Each structure stands twice: as C-alpha cells, then as structure tokens.
Amino acid sequence: MKKLSAALVAVSLVAAAPAHAQKLDLSTVTCKQFFESSKENIGLVLMWLTGFYADEDAPPVIDFDKMKTDVEKLATYCAKNPDTGLITAADQVIDTK
C-alpha cells in the first residue's frame, strides 16, 4: 500500500509540473523569480529544498512546522535580496539540524 501511495504522489507531482519546464537549474533562479513562479512550482521546489538540506542520516519524516519556518525565513531574506540566487539564499537561512 505504501508503494502505491508513493507512486500516486510521484505521478501527481510530475503531472503538476509545467509541460515547458522539463528541467529547472536552481543555481540560476533568483529569489524574485522563485517567488513569482506558480504556487505549484514553489511547492515542488520547497519540497526539493527540504530534502536537499536534510541530514542524510535523518529519518524519512517531513516536518511541516520546520518547513514553514524555513519558508518564512527564506521569504524574509528574499524580500530584502530579490536578486540573490535561490540556493545562496537557502544556504543562508535553512537550518540543517
């Protein structure tokens, strides 16, 4: 049942991605571009960032409260630094603990 659920989530995420954007190089995306993109893209990228900044030995748990806090910090930083790269901004504010 878990495999089926995971497969359905994966399919829905792929289906939600825009047809014209098969790849997104986050090293070239600015804060401004990121926060001006669609809610779907923001959500997908935030989930990716959550995994990217997670400790590799951490349990496979999504902490939505931590994610919300990280998003708020990222939004505050990006509002002050709209031309900063998204990854640079995330490096500054996302707590990896």
Q: Within a domain: residue 8?
A: no
Per-residue pLDDT tens digits for 74-91: 999 999 999 999 999 999
pLDDT tens-digit series, residues 25-57:
999 999 999 999 999 999 999 999 988 888 888
User: Domain range holding 55?
Assistant: 20-93
Question: What pLDDT score does 22 carry?
Answer: 77
Which pair of structure tokens corresponds to residue 84?
Answer: 């900063």
For the four alpha carbons of 35, 41, 42 and 45, in that order, the dihedral sign comes to negative
Is there a domain that residue 66 lies in? yes
Domain count, the chain: 1
Going from the C-alpha of 61 to that of each of 12, 19, 22, 44, the distances in angstroms are 20, 29, 27, 17
The verdict on residue 34 lying in a domain is yes
Whether the model pTM is above 0.75? no
CATH code where residue 45 lies: 1.10.890.10
**Cα-Cα end-to-end distance for the chain:** 31
Of 57, 53, 55, 85, residue with least CA distance to 69: 53
The verdict on residue 53 lying in a domain is yes
Dist. CA 19–CA 14, nearest whole Å:
9
